[in-house]
Structure 1
Amino acid sequence: MRFAVRLLAPLALLAGLVTAAATGPAPEPVPVPVAVTGTQVPVPPPPMGWASWNTFAAKINASVIRAQADALVSSGLAAAGYTYVNIDEGWWQGTRDAAGNITVDTAEWPGGMAAIADYLHSKGLKAGIYTDAGRDGCGYYYPTGRPAAPGSGSEGHYAQDMLQFSRWGFDFVKVDWCGGSAEGLDPQSTYRAISAAVTAATASTGRPLTLSICNWGVQSPWNWAPGLGTMWRTSGDIIYYGQTATQAMVLANFDQGVHPTAQHTGYYNDPDMMIAGMPGLTAAQNRTHLGLWAISGAPLLIGDDVATMDATTLATLRNAEVIAVDQDPRGLQGVKVAQDAQGRQVYGKVLSGSGRRAVLLLNRTSTAAAMTVRWADLGLAATTATVRNLWSATNAGSFASSYTVNVPANESVLLTVTGTEAAASTYEAEAAGNTRTGATVAACAGCSGGSKVGGIGNGGTLRFNAVTAAAAGLAVATIAYANGDTATRTATLQVNGQPSTVVAFPPTGSWTTPGTVSVIVQLTAGSANTLTFGNAAAWAPDLDAVEVRALSGAAAPATVRIQGVQSGRCLDVNNSSTTNGVQLQLWDCNGQSNQAWTQTSSRQLTVYGSKCLDAYNSGTTNGTTVVIWDCNGQANQQWNVNADGTITSALSGLCLDASNRGTANGTKIILWACGSGTNQRWTLS
């Protein structure tokens, strides 16, 4: 591999780069015949462990936590990777000393919180703790097992509390949103301040503190949380204390947690702690639950009582091959790649190495079915591939182009498939038409010679232009880079006009040693895609090339954008929300997943794979709002796409309408009697 910008590059070369970037448009780039061959750099995996809330609510103390820690070790779960012991709400009743430091009841926590952290560390475990972003935490608004506890949040004490947690010896902090919600705080700016406090605490104590952002998906944290925290909740609680666990709970949180463009390089969507093993789920449902969390690369936090867990559940949670899918060092999320019939879904996850995929076939229906995974659906070449069943721990054999297996009703099958990668295109940083701005020479502690030329530069950008996709959809972008520092560096990636995401680049060993990390990107059809890497605060890694490979083949469900004829804008789910009842709107077309619609054979228009275009409350009158809702097969979710460009509700016959003939971003979508206006005409492309 060649690096276009190298360590100690001559100033003349540097000047030439800057001049070239300033002289105007360059010829369109073309993929170059070089491979991104650097070693895949392992990224931090999603956290694994146990959390106290689902089983104990606020009724916790040192004895409860020690007993669960002991059980994690004696059961073999700790050896399997479940090392975090996360103390949730209820450990603290909002008391502080005169200096504002948190105080606790030492009758419940002998020796204080430092003592319980020490105990967990003595068992080879990691210690997690909990607080709220607001002034009054969840124990005040929703007391469960203890009296309401005012003042049990960290607002006004972010820096002080994070430093105190770190000094006590905690390795993980979950920051909830009850107080933040009640006070109307802004999630993004609030968690940015908390993240800064975590960073400062780590710098002060030298103890890394993993931040779990728990604001239940409010304001779509997948659009802004990568780089602020290791994980962010994508939905409400999977279960409320005292409820009986159901598979519907599992599926609802799984569906809301699929945001693959946000999950990469050590940052994770969090569908909440697991309910596997809790009363209400069968052994098969427990396996499906763990399989869903594994295929999505979710944090694996057990919520059951480990001390009383039955042997079957223990064996399920300890399955090393399933855990390996979740903990895969490439760090990507699985996505739905096929649905040949309603409720029969195939999910694929790109694993580390070459040609390796995890596959979950999920049968949501009440009838057993033969389900097929095609290699093209997985972005693999149509050559022989080997298949392994992870729950039975058996090799199924080698198959050409596809594999079919019977999946029982309301169950799943989890596989790995090892084949040959399909073709990909590589774009070099210095190929014609790709632009680099902001490159400057700067002092670089630890760099050979004391300085280097940054791959992006402080405040600069690197654009890979004319990235081509045969069809709109998801692709894996593998980035070749070098980072000779001892710490992870970051850059901000933006694809087309979509929300940006912070990408982490771990050290590669030296500035001349290449490595790769991968992200999933949403592309539009054609050659108008642009991947822009920027770094506004510090030196970025030295980026060399990007390899782009379609995540799935033509067999995957085709997505379309629904574009208003009058406005030229697209049918859009506001802020990429996944919440039932969010009204649709017009917005500039950008190719993002919240504008990617799939037509099904049952006349549904779906987004995110599980949400349907819905006439709210089965409305049949003018002005009925058009929203997203969990797909349920009802007539208010069935639509006719007509030759005249109208889209009509199968229930009411009314037309999909941009309200008040609006054309601006944010114009709401409603149903209205069909007329001749172009605000009721749509193109699907």
Structure 2
Amino acid sequence: MGGRSPNPPLLRALLVGALAIPLAAAGLTAAPPPAAASDNGLSLRPAMGWSSWSFVRRQPTEAKLKAQADALVGSGLKEHGYIHVNLDDFYQKCDSNGFTVDPYGRWAVDSAKFPSGIKALADYIHSKGLKFGFYVTPGIAKNAVTRNTPIEGTSYHAKDIADTSKLEKNYNCKNMYYIDYSKPGSQEFVNSWARQIASWGVDYLKIDGVGSHDIPDVRAWDKALRASGRPINYALSNNLAIADAPTWRQLANSWRTQGDVECYCGPGPNGSGFPLTDWNHITSRFNSAANWQQYAGPGGWNDLDSLEIGNGDQVGLNADQRRSHMTLWAMAASPLLLGTDLTALNATDKAMLTNDRLIAVNQDGIAARRIVNSGPQQVWSKREPNGDYIVALFNTGTSGNQTVAVNWSQVGFSGAAAVTDLWSGQSGGLVNGSYSVTLRPGETRLIRATPQSGTTVRYEAENASFSAGSTVDTDHGGFSGTGFVNTANAAGAYVEWTVESATARDAALTIRYANGTTAGRPMDVSVNGAVVSAGRAFDGTGAWTSWADSTLSVPLKAGSNTVRVTATTANGAPNIDYLDRG
């Protein structure tokens, strides 16, 4: 999760067992997004654990963090993969000029809240077999600049690197100046802070208040964490710009796609206390999960914010809504970081959080796509490496039952499928052609659909691997799924799928394509590295909106197969919509 240590025993067994997807197989078939993921080797699956912000809010203390860590272990949640205990904001000490700082200009910890210090807290959490998370924001404190504190290990000082003409976003003590990264000593300052954090035993770092203008800070912290000598899961927050998604993915292990999930509508100061959230703050995540879907994958995740399950209805959601909440987070492959009070975990919510079938949906490392979006009716789907499909149906409304239906062809296959309800574990029998269910307001149904032999399995091009310079486009209608792949006009441009087969056999493959030119765009078709159809013709289809099929028989081995189509001329490949395997 956060580091290179093994998964907890139960979760590790789950990931390689019958209910879930083998980890290695999931890695083989997870479709890479348009940008390369961070290569820091961390967060190969979404992080799971607990964060202090939602419930503890502005009053974190050493005692409270220890109590939540104890509860994470005592409740059994740890054995299901919830292993992070993350300290959020308001652990710092402030004066009238902002954050008080240590001799090297870094935030000072409030010793009244944390009398034993952060390292001692991290050591305690580690003694429980858990991982410890910490929090910063971009910039350098005003007090560091006023005092002109030295930058540890250098001849530089705070005034050498601060841009005092503007202030960074900060939610606590404020008064954080921008850092001018063109100045010598700027990277060294961030490096010194990262070294300190690493020396305390931090396993997860959230950098908050990040906007597109903070990309230099995000990059500097990435460099600093890599150089710190400790593996540290790197999380960005919040409401980040999707236009910069490739950058977030390259530099970090997760990124918040919206503002806070908390409603700030409780009775306490600053809206603290129960309720923690409301249904509107959950349903607003459906669109962002759909928009950001393509950027999720091993090493980098779309973070929908805290999971507000644990304390029953008082969190602001009824039981149906809480199941929908967890279902969306699982389907989106979002980190599962609980925001509730684990010392008061109720039985209903514990059963939700320890449902290993749901956890497996989250931990398969595949973000689902939305295939139905009609008023309160939504359907999401993702295909697992073994050929099964996970399908979630939602009624997001607040009144009135809804009968939500989906055709198997929309999901990605045809014929019949064996259906299992993943919340209950009950079999739904053999279902032919389509699936429907009547849902209460806020209710969900999450199923595993196992296509039967003889059915067609669809592999969308937008979920495949493809060559540099290729894009997923939507400007020519008539495509299946969420788009099509438009490769660079160059020989060697390719699209590659991982295709599953239960047995070694000859199978029919159908490649759907469009070529709006009059010139042919031939491609080599290869299976497992061997060309099975050289220079196969993909002639003009009359228009870019006119799609055609090219079908051929190819040999497949049992298990995973690599199927690649590669342009053989400077014209490049046609637009590729999908590959069907018969």
Q: What band does the TM-score fall into relative to the shorter chain?
A: 0.5 to 0.7
Instruction: For residue 111 of structure 1, report the CA deviation from its aligned partner.
Output: 3.2
Following the alignment from structure 1 to structure 2, what is the Cα–Cα distance between the partners of residues 299 and 361? 21
Question: Contact between 2:371 and 2:380, CA under 8 Å: does it hold in 1?
Answer: yes
CA 1:472–1:400 in structure 2 vs 1: closer, same or farther (change >3 Å)? same
Matched residue type, 2:369: V
TM-score, normalisation: structure 2: 0.63
Q: Which of 476, 479, 484 is the aligned partner of 1:472?
A: 479
Which structure 2 residues correspond to residues 255-404 of structure 1 after superposition, within 5 A? 255-258=287-290, 259-276=292-309, 277=311, 278-328=314-364, 331-339=365-373, 341-353=374-386, 355-365=387-397, 366-380=399-413, 382-404=414-436
Which structure 2 residues correspond to residues 75-90 of structure 1 after superposition, within 5 A? 75-90=75-90
Residue aligned with 1:190, SS: helix
In structure 1, the partner of 2:214 is 187
Matched residue type, 1:218: A
Identity %: 29
Instruction: For residue 129 of structure 1, report the CA deviation from its aligned partner.
Output: 0.4
Matched residue type, 1:68: Q
Instruction: For residue 384 of structure 1, report the CA deviation from its aligned partner.
Output: 2.0
Question: Contact between 1:47 and 1:299, CA under 8 Å: does it hold in 2?
Answer: yes
CA 1:423–1:246 in structure 2 vs 1: closer, same or farther (change >3 Å)? closer
Which structure 2 residues correspond to residues 369-448 of structure 1 after superposition, within 5 A? 369-380=402-413, 382-419=414-451, 422-423=456-457
CA 1:336–1:426 in structure 2 vs 1: closer, same or farther (change >3 Å)? closer
Question: Contact between 1:222 and 1:269, CA under 8 Å: does it hold in 2?
Answer: no
CA 1:265–1:225 in structure 2 vs 1: closer, same or farther (change >3 Å)? same
In structure 1, the partner of 2:250 is 227
Residue by residue over 1:136-175, the C-alpha shift from the partner in whole angstroms, topping out at 9 and shown as x without a partner, is 59998544xxxx3645999953222222211211110000
In structure 2, the partner of 1:95 is 100
Q: Which of 126, 130, 133 is the aligned partner of 1:125?
A: 130
Matched residue type, 2:255: W
Unaligned stretches of 5+ residues in structure 1: 1-37, 428-433, 436-460, 478-492, 498-522, 530-542, 547-559, 561-590, 592-685
* C-alpha RMSD of matched pairs (Å): 3.9
Q: Which of 32, 41, 53 is the aligned partner of 2:27?
A: 41
Instruction: For residue 309 of structure 1, report the CA deviation from its aligned partner.
Output: 2.1
Question: Contact between 2:320 and 2:442, CA under 8 Å: does it hold in 1?
Answer: no
Instruction: For residue 291 of structure 1, report the CA deviation from its aligned partner.
Output: 0.7
Residue aligned with 2:248, SS: coil
Instruction: For residue 86 of structure 1, report the CA deviation from its aligned partner.
Output: 0.7
Unaligned stretches of 5+ residues in structure 2: 1-23, 31-43, 94-98, 143-166, 181-185, 490-510, 518-527, 532-544, 546-574, 576-582
Residue aligned with 1:261, SS: helix
Following the alignment from structure 1 to structure 2, what is the Cα–Cα distance between the partners of residues 153 and 48? 32
Residue aligned with 2:251, SS: coil
Question: Contact between 1:388 and 1:397, CA under 8 Å: does it hold in 2?
Answer: yes
Matched residue type, 1:117: A
TM-score, normalisation: structure 1: 0.54
Residue by residue over 1:628-668, the C-alpha shift from the partner in whole angstroms, topping out at 9 and shown as x without a partner, is xxxxxxxxxxxxxxxxxxxxxxxxxxxxxxxxxxxxxxxxx
Residue by residue over 1:105-135, the C-alpha shift from the partner in whole angstroms, topping out at 9 and shown as x without a partner, is 3343233211111111110111100000233
Following the alignment from structure 1 to structure 2, what is the Cα–Cα distance between the partners of residues 373 and 545? 37
Which structure 2 residues correspond to residues 430-579 of structure 1 after superposition, within 5 A? 471-474=478-481, 526-527=514-515
Instruction: For residue 193 of structure 1, report the CA deviation from its aligned partner.
Output: 2.1
Following the alignment from structure 2 to structure 1, what is the Cα–Cα distance between the partners of residues 469 and 178? 41
**Residue 118 of structure 2 is aligned to residue 113 of structure 1:** yes
Question: Contact between 2:46 and 2:333, CA under 8 Å: does it hold in 1?
Answer: yes
Instruction: For residue 371 of structure 1, report the CA deviation from its aligned partner.
Output: 2.0
In structure 2, the partner of 1:24 is none
Following the alignment from structure 2 to structure 1, what is the Cα–Cα distance between the partners of residues 324 and 179? 37
Matched residue type, 1:266: G
Which structure 2 residues correspond to residues 541-620 of structure 1 after superposition, within 5 A? none
Matched residue type, 2:110: D
Following the alignment from structure 1 to structure 2, what is the Cα–Cα distance between the partners of residues 60 and 295? 31
Residue aligned with 1:54, SS: helix
Question: Contact between 1:80 and 1:320, CA under 8 Å: does it hold in 2?
Answer: yes
Residue aligned with 2:322, SS: helix
Aligned residue pairs, count:
410
The structure whose residues are more often helix, as a share, is 2
